[in-house]
């Protein structure tokens, strides 16, 4: 499919160097975090005088960290679930029907991901407290996260539907399947990998969100990013934060890897007739 | 402005009916109305004695072979073929048996467990056909199903489709823009132009007695003689068409059979086509005629070549096709 580009040898070397540099800048600090989680010294002197598993042990028994992790996972799961339902419906509605203002609606759905988190945070904080009279807490975080999680699902679904074209669904109807059966047997299976990819991205977005969360979480609820932020500058907790950060690096690699694999799995044959 | 203007056609049970026309002539719109994907603004569609006009696609006893085949890529071939039976809740054993039968009918026995993506264009086309036929619809709609195939495969599939249609006895409504395809497969052909049907006729009638200059030009190749040229050459007013194979090139001043008339001119160009050669003859008076000469291999005939030598085109009066709708402009296809 992709023919290799023919590139000048010198240009190739330069590009290679640049790529290496970018990767170094990104990953050396991350490696540093992981190494420091084994550092005996509390102030993270470099190189580490000696290595220890002590901080890992402390972290494992830190109730604050464990509770925050649980909250984060729950929030991310719920926000992703909401995003999957609403994002899929919106994607289907906008690609399968034509109505006045369709593009505006599409823009409005995508916008929250581009809005600065601080704006979304303040706006939601205001609306929740003053307009709706809600107490900030677990639910308000979920709703706030869902507003931007929808975008990743919506985008994936929309792109997939557009690529598939209407003919598979028409074929299903033509063969006697009603709209619901068509969705169950054709549309949904064709969307499945797009939903997974969109859902994993949504989960990732929610899991490490801090700005919007700060404004929509109540005083009792702490997500993991907030817990980290609050403990980072306490001398006793700093090594534990390193451990948690190291764990997060490893955990977040998984959904991204999966999402990448899944969105790459091409559903061919639907639109392409000639092969 | 409508995609299709008033249309009144009756298609017989078991007929192979083609809708022929250039792209944008409305033939696919009519097919989609038959399938239920489009609704006519007025009028009705009868399927047997039942009014099907308002029925959604999944309630109609018709099935479609789509132009891009629309084979479900996430199912294997057998699951694709039995899809229609599955949604109609036919029990598993029976639908498997019927799906296998349908695959056999399109000569794909043993392909059931393969993924459709492993198939060539011709095979996918057969899968689409089997998937539609397995439901034993009253009418099978085919939307340019051979368009994506290469020429040789297309010829083979034309024959095969015709044969399958005869075997299963289902009414086929076939959309194509390829006039040769329409002529070779159909019992009757409707020629579409700009949302109107110009003529509905058997292939023989269509070719021998085209109703309009558009049909004469679109179905097969024809020379048009009209207006001043008709006066000059034929001695009568009106619009006429004549097929290239009905014309002969004879030496200038040669005597011809009774009923034949001759028109002097010069051979300007010769196009060699294998089974025949086409000579473009410029008549004295400016108009040109395409003359077809079959490649019989006979040495008696003088070689065809472009030259300034005066020759004559001989034409029997009976070969002239009188056209109605004479004011329309038609492109002549060389």
CB < 8 Å to A272, chain B: 68
Max mean pLDDT among A8-12, B199-203, B282-286 falls in B199-203
Secondary structure of residue B168 in the 3-state scheme: helix
Segment B66-78, tens digit of pLDDT: 988 999 999 999 9
For residue B148, give the nearest of A174, A269, A274 by CB distance: A274
Chain A residues whose beta carbon lies within 8 Å of the beta carbon of residue B70? 167-168, 170-171, 270
Give the one of A167, A185, A272 whose C-beta lies nearest to B66's C-beta: A167
User: Which of 165-194 (A) contact B at CB < 8 A?
Assistant: 165, 167-168, 170-178, 181, 185-186, 189-190
**What integer is the mean pLDDT of B112-139?**
88
**Separation CA B177–CA B172 (nearest Å):** 16
Quick check: A174 and B69 CB within 8 A? Answer: no
pLDDT for B322: 84
- The per-residue pLDDT for range B132-183, each reduced to its tens digit, is 999 999 999 999 988 878 888 888 889 888 988 998 899 999 999 999 899 9
Can you spell out the DSSP letters for chain A? --PPP---HHHHHHHHHHHHHHHHHHHHHHHHHHHHTTBSSTT--SS-SSB-SHHHHHHHT-HHHHHHHHHHHHHHHHHHHHHHHHHHHHHHHHHH---TTHHHHHHHHHHHHHS-HHHHHHHHHHIIIIIS-PPPSHHHHHHHHHHHHHHHHHHHHHHHHHHH-SHHHHHHHHTT--HHHHIIIIIHHHHHHHHHHHHHHHHHHHHT--HHHHHHS-SS---HHHHHHHHTT-TTTHHHHHHHHHHHHHHHHHHHHHHHHHHHS---SSS----
Assess whether pLDDT exceeds 50 at residue B83.
yes
Is there a contact between B132 and A175 if contact means CB atoms under 8 Å apart? yes
Higher pLDDT, B163 or A255: B163
**Residue in chain B lying closest to A190 (CA):** B74
How confident is the model over B289-300, as a mean pLDDT? 80
Token pair of A7 as six digits = 């590139």
Beta carbon pairs, A and B, within 8 Å: 81
Check pLDDT > 80 for residue B333: no
| CA B159 from centre of chain | 14
Average pLDDT over all residues of chain B:
87
Q: In the predicted model, what is the mean pLDDT of chain A?
A: 85
pLDDT for the residue numbered B153: 83
Banded model confidence at residue B330, pLDDT cuts 50, 70, 90: very low
Q: How distant is the Cα of A55 from the closest Cα of chain B, in angstroms?
A: 49
Q: Which of A115-124, A238-247, B200-209 has the lowest mean pLDDT?
A: A238-247
- Hey, are the CB atoms on B57 and A274 less than 8 Å from each other? no
CA dist list (Å): A61 to A57, B125, B334: 7, 64, 88
CA closest to A187 among chain B residues: B72
**Contact criterion met (CB < 8 Å) for A175 and B58:** yes
Architecture of domain A66-264 in this structure: Orthogonal Bundle (1.10)
- Whether residue B83 and residue A177 make contact (CB cut-off 8 A), yes or no, is yes
B188 has pLDDT over 80: yes
Structure tokens given for A62? 């830190």
pLDDT of B204 reads 94
Residues in A closer than 8 angstroms to B84, CB to CB, are 175-176
Confidence of residue A4 (pLDDT cuts 50, 70, 90): low
| Chain A partners within 8 Å of B67 (Cβ) | 273
Q: Which residues of B touch A181 (CB under 8 A)?
A: 87
Q: How confident is the model at residue A56 (pLDDT cuts 50, 70, 90)?
A: confident
Whether residue A269 lies within 8 A of chain B, CB to CB, comes out as yes
Q: For B198-225, what is each residue's pLDDT tens digit? A: 999 999 999 988 988 889 888 888 888 8
Set out the domains of chain B in order of their start, with CATH numbers: 16-217 (3.40.50.300), 222-322 (2.40.50.140)
- Using a pLDDT cut of 90, give the percent of chain A over it: 38
- Identify all chain A residues contacting B66, using CB atoms and an 8 Å cutoff: 167, 170-171
B-chain residues within 8 Å CB-CB of A195?
none
Q: What residue in A sits closest to B35 (Cα-Cα)? A: A174
For B117, the closest chain A residue by CA position comes to: A269
Average pLDDT over residues A38-63: 81
Whether chain B has a CB inside 8 Å of the CB on A267: the answer is yes
Tell whether the model's pLDDT for residue A268 goes beyond 60. Answer: no
Contact of B73 with chain A, judged by CB distance below 8 Å, is answered with yes
- pLDDT tens column, A136-145: 889 999 999 9
When pLDDT is averaged across residues A55-77 and rounded to a whole number, the result is 88
CA-nearest residue to A165 within chain B is B70
Kindly state the average pLDDT of the residues A225-250: 84
Question: For residue B246, which of B297, B314, B184 has the smallest C-alpha distance?
Answer: B314
Neighbour tally for A16: CB within 10 Å:
10
Taking the CA of residue A262 and the nearest CA in chain B, the distance in Å comes to: 15
pLDDT of the residue at B1: 62
Residues of B in contact with A271 (CB under 8 A): 68
Does residue B47 surpass a pLDDT of 60?
yes
Residue B302 has pLDDT above 60, yes or no: yes
A274 has a chain B CB within 8 A of its CB: yes
Question: Domain-by-domain residue ranges, chain A?
Answer: 66-264
Distance from CA of B81 to the nearest CA of A (A): 10
Closest alpha carbon within chain A to B140: A174
| Chain B neighbors of A270, CB-CB under 8 A | 70, 73
Q: What 3-state class would DSSP assign to B214?
A: helix
Q: Which residues pair with B267 in a beta bridge?
A: B281
Band of the pLDDT at A271, cuts 50, 70, 90? Answer: very low
Interchain contact, A271 vs B132, CB within 8 Å:
no
Q: Average the pLDDT over each of A1-15, A112-126, B61-75, B310-324 and give the range with the smallest value.
A: A1-15
Facing B57 at nearest CB: one of A174, A272, A273: A174
**Residues paired with residue B261 on neighbouring β-strands, in sequence order:** B315
Average pLDDT over residues B316-331: 67
Interface residue B63 vs chain A (CB under 8 A): yes
- Judged by CB atoms closer than 8 Å, whether chains meet at B74 and A174 is answered as no
Mean pLDDT to the nearest integer, A11-20: 92
Tell me: pLDDT of A176 over 80. yes
């Amino acid at each position: 499919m992709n023919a290799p580009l023919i590139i000048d040898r010198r240009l190739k070397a330069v590009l290679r160097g640049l790529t290496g540099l970018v990767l170094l800048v990104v990953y050396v600090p991350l490696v540093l975090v992981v190494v420091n989680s084994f550092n005996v010294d509390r102030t993270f002197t470099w190189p580490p005088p000696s290595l220890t598993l002590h901080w890992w042990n402390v972290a494992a028994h830190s109730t604050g960290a464990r509770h925050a992790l649980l909250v984060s996972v729950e929030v991310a799961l719920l926000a992703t679930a909401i995003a999957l339902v609403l994002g899929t419906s919106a994607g289907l509605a906008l690609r399968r029907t034509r109505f006045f203002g369709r593009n505006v609606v599409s823009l409005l759905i995508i916008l929250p991901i581009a809005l600065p988190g601080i704006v979304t945070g303040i706006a939601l904080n205001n609306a929740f407290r003053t307009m709706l009279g809600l107490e900030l807490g677990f639910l308000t975080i979920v709703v706030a996260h869902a507003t931007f999680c929808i975008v990743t699902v919506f985008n994936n679904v929309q792109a997939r539907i557009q690529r598939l074209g209407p003919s598979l669904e028409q074929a299903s109807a033509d063969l006697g399947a009603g709209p619901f059966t068509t969705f169950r047997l054709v549309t949904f299976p064709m969307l499945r990998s797009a939903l997974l990819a969109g859902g994993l991205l949504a989960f990732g977005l929610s899991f490490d969100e801090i700005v919007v969360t700060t404004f929509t979480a109540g005083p009792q609820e702490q997500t993991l990013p907030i817990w980290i932020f609050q403990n980072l500058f306490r001398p006793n907790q700093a090594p534990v934060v390193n451990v948690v950060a190291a764990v997060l690096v490893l955990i977040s690699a998984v959904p991204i890897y999966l999402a990448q694999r899944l969105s790459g799995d091409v559903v061919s044959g639907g639109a392409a007739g000639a092969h | 402005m409508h995609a299709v203007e008033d249309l009144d056609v009756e298609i017989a049970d078991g007929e192979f009916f083609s809708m022929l026309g250039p792209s944008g002539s409305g033939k696919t719109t009519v097919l989609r109305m038959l399938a239920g994907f489009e609704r006519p603004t007025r009028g009705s569609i009868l399927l047997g004695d039942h009014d099907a006009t308002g029925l959604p696609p999944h309630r109609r006893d018709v099935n479609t072979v789509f132009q891009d085949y629309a084979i479900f890529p996430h199912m294997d071939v057998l699951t694709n073929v039995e899809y229609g039976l599955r949604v109609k809740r036919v029990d598993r054993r029976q639908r498997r048996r019927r799906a296998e039968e349908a695959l056999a009918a399109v000569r794909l026995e043993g392909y059931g467990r393969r993924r459709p993506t492993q198939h060539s264009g011709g095979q996918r086309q057969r899968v689409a056909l089997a998937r539609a036929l397995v439901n034993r619809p009253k009418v099978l709609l085919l939307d340019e199903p051979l368009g994506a195939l290469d020429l040789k495969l297309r010829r083979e599939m034309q024959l095969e489709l015709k044969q399958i249609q005869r075997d299963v006895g289902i009414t086929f409504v076939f959309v194509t823009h390829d006039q040769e395809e329409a002529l070779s497969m159909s019992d009757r052909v409707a020629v579409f132009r700009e949302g109107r049907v110009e003529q509905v006729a058997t292939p023989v009638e269509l070719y021998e007695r085209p109703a309009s200059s558009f049909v004469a030009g679109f179905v097969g190749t024809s020379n048009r003689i009209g207006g001043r040229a008709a006066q000059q050459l034929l001695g009568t007013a009106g619009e006429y068409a004549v097929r290239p194979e009905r014309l002969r090139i004879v030496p200038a001043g040669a005597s011809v059979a009774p009923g034949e008339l001759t028109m002097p001119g010069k051979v300007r160009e010769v196009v060699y086509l294998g089974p025949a050669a086409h000579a473009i003859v410029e008549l004295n008076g400016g108009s040109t005629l395409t003359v077809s000469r079959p490649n019989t291999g006979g040495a008696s005939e003088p070689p065809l070549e472009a030259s300034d030598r005066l020759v004559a085109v001989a034409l029997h009066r009976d070969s002239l096709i009188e056209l109605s709708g004479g004011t329309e402009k038609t492109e002549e296809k060389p």
